Chain A
Amino acid sequence: MGSRDDILRAVRAQTLPDKPAPSLDQQWIRYDDRRTQFATVLAGVGGRCEFVADGAEAARKLMEHPAYDAAKRVASFVPEITRGNVDLATIGDPHALEDVDFAILRGEIAVAENGAVWVTDAGVRHRALYFITQHLVLVVPASALVDNMPQAYERLQFTGPGYGAFLSGPSKTADIEQSLVIGAHGPRSMTVFCVGD
């Protein structure tokens, strides 16, 4: 405990004048057409967004994905689209997900400002699925589309253990001469289906 007390004591020794926390309740950006904004920004970062009426339409659109036809292992948490052929209940070790081609999961919130989708590991036994799959499909209720990040955080609660992330587009890198390469370590594509009105 020595270092803990040293550090806290050293910090406390610097008595700084109290500065109040600023208000986050401000006029943040809003969009007349959130759908177009979200889809445009997501496309700009290499993702794809489709607005669909229901799961059946999403399933039809998924068939058009150039890599879907050849996919051997599909893990799905969205039975309205597909049941997939990976039984996640039987997989105890996330390493066994190495050869998953498509993962279809639910997103909770979509953010128009930056094309991000909030996902969590609640009910998803292995969060590795989001990153280890070759292609990622997220299904979000269209009603969960918000304007900006402050609105997104208003809806989020962090009350216990868990993992959550904003995902915006496929995994990417520009570390070789600033040339953009899609598919760094994680998914090579990201498709978002916004379902309903």
Chain B
Amino acid sequence: MNHPDLALAFIADKPRAKWHDETLWFVRSKRDKAAWQLPEWELLRETAAAIKAHTMSHLADYLEQFESQAQKLGVKVHWANDAAEHNAIVHGILRERGVRKLVKSKSMLTEECHLNPYLERHGIEVVDTDLGERIVQLAGESPSHIVLPAIHKKKEDVGAIFHEHLHTPEGMSDPLFLAEAARQHLRDKFMQADAALTGVNFAVAETGGIVICTNEGNADLGVSLPKIHIACMGIEKLIPRAADLSVFLRLLARSATGQPITTYSSHFHGPMPGGEMHIVLVDNGRTDLLGSDDFRRSLNCIRCGACMNTCPVYRRSGGHSYESTVPGPIGSILAPSRDAKKHGSLPFACSLCGSCTDVCPVKIDIHHQLLTWRKEIAHRGLLPRSKSWGMKVMSRVLRSPRLYAASGWLARKVVPKLPRFMIYNPLNAWGKRRELPEFPRESFREQFERRHGK
């Protein structure tokens, strides 16, 4: 399926689509308020972008430094070329230690690697402990947003899911009640877990430490009970110095939800006393992106979700319509770089309004990269017929002044007289849900000639 078809299914439920749109816009406006409270906001964004650019230009050195510093702290560092190797490493650690029950906190990387189904196939119980992730896990779905995983669900949906799995009373949909039920349910899971797995927000080369940000405290509670902590990260999560965290922690939560900082910003340096800690560094296509002058900066993403909240297309089409672990504007850059054929429609799910670029805390030129992807997709011959055919016609017309004048005349004189079915039909994808503007009676050329004479 492609993005427009899936989006069609999303907007079929009009009230829900409207709620989704308005709710995310509200999150975006909270972000604005938080940003306006810091006079240095733009300086922070520039500094963050510069730190990332610097890190990428020395990435191999920083990776080695991080590894040796982490090892000094007693961490076992693993490296994985791809998703399969990542999953095998995690499973190997768990198997050797006889782990049956694993609690997880949010990690888009493990979503990307499809770790959960892999571990479940090997008989390990995997519990996502972020409330939103638990909701979608119980529903058998994937997150539709990287910060708000269950934003596509209404409280009645959550009530029904919890009724089925946690045996809350039927029809109960009060968020307070449901969140309390989840708290009790997940406390049990925390207490029983043999190991905990987390993602990583930032890894500090200078100190060998990792930083994890949550509001619920699920990552912290998860890793402070069992003896085994596995942290999985893409190699792009590195930053050089601990002091750089001051820049990123000031940007992340403000951009994500408008909070001044996440409730928990936890710095882990080595395992807890008597425990063990593993860090898995994953490439899975990242070094290819690093080699691309056009798309390298997409690696700077700190996964705040701001570009999703602001995007007029994302808000109106829902995260699942992207069929990609990371949806929205940044996902529409990342997904085609994995599989341009499968995700070829994503760079076109964009009005090129540039709002994503304006809010991105690390100043990724998102909409420029999306435009570049469009060219790339046309170049590779991956455009759908409806688009390539239209573009060919357009290019012929625009190259010939006579054809151009003739088609303008047709549009002004003939089209308004045509019956509707000849304009609004399946051949005209543009005409779905859109009305043609009213055509002017005269063209510019005609007006010019009339006013200035021949």
Contacts and interface: CB of A to CB of B under 8 A. Distances in A.
Given A21-B54, A179-B155, A14 B260 contact: no
Contacts of A41: 260
Interface string B158-195: 10000000000000000110111001001100110000
Interface stretch (B37-45, B110-118, B380-388, B393-401): B37-45
A29 B43 CA distance: 12
B176 A181 contact: yes
B27 interface: yes
B198 interface: no
Given A94-B224, A131-B217, A175 B267 contact: no
Contact of A165 (B186, B215, B220, B296): B220
A24 B217 contact: no
Nearest to B282: A7
Contacts of B273: 125
B269 A6 contact: no
B73 A24 contact: no
A79 interface: no
B131 A176 contact: yes
Interface stretch (B240-248, B319-327, B358-366): B240-248
Nearest to B289: A14
Contacts of B148: 174-175, 178
A168 to B, nearest CB: 5
Contacts of A177: 23, 153-155, 158, 175
Contact of A14 (B180, B261, B287): B287
A82 B325 CA distance: 49
Nearest to B43: A26
Contacts of A57: none
Secondary structure type dominating chain A contacts: loop
B209 to A, nearest CB: 6
A178 B27 contact: yes
Contact of A166 (B247, B261, B291): B261
B103 to A, nearest CB: 10
Interface stretch (B58-66, B335-343, B346-354, B410-418): B58-66
B424 interface: no
A176 B220 contact: no
Interface string A18-38: 111110101111000000000
Interface string B1-43: 0000000000000000000000100110000000000111001
B29 to A, nearest CB: 13
Contact of A186 (B175, B221, B271): B221
A161 B271 contact: yes
A29 B225 contact: no
A130 B158 CA distance: 29
Given A128-B221, A131-B217, A158-B267, A22 B54 contact: yes
A18 B287 contact: no
A175 B135 contact: yes
A80 interface: no
A173 B40 contact: no
B150 A131 contact: no
Interface string B215-256: 111101100110000000001000011111111011000000
A19 to B, nearest CB: 4
A152 B246 CA distance: 8
A89 interface: no
Interface string B263-277: 111111111110000
Contacts of A163: 266-269, 272
Given A161-B269, A178-B23, A156 B242 contact: yes
Given A114-B261, A165-B265, A185 B218 contact: yes
A160 B269 contact: yes
Given A128-B225, A185-B216, A95 B265 contact: no
A29 B131 contact: no
Interface in A104-150: 111, 113-116, 121, 125-128, 130-132, 148-150
B240 A176 contact: no
A154 to B, nearest CB: 8
B142 interface: no
Contact of A17 (B57, B179, B191, B287): B57
Contacts of B218: 184-185
B191 A29 contact: no
B64 A8 contact: yes
Interface in A174-197: 174-179, 181, 183-187
Contact of B207 (A128, A158, A181): A158
Contacts of A12: 60
A4 B176 CA distance: 47
Contact of B260 (A3, A7, A45, A152): A45
A116 B252 CA distance: 14
6 contacts: A3-B79, A14-B287, A28-B40, A95-B191, A170-B263, A177-B175
Interface of A: 3-4, 6-8, 10-14, 16-22, 24, 26-29, 41, 44-45, 94-95, 98, 111, 113-116, 121, 125-128, 130-132, 148-150, 152-154, 156, 158, 160-179, 181, 183-187
In order of increasing CB-CB distance, the 3 nearest A-B pairs are: A186-B217, A161-B270, A175-B132
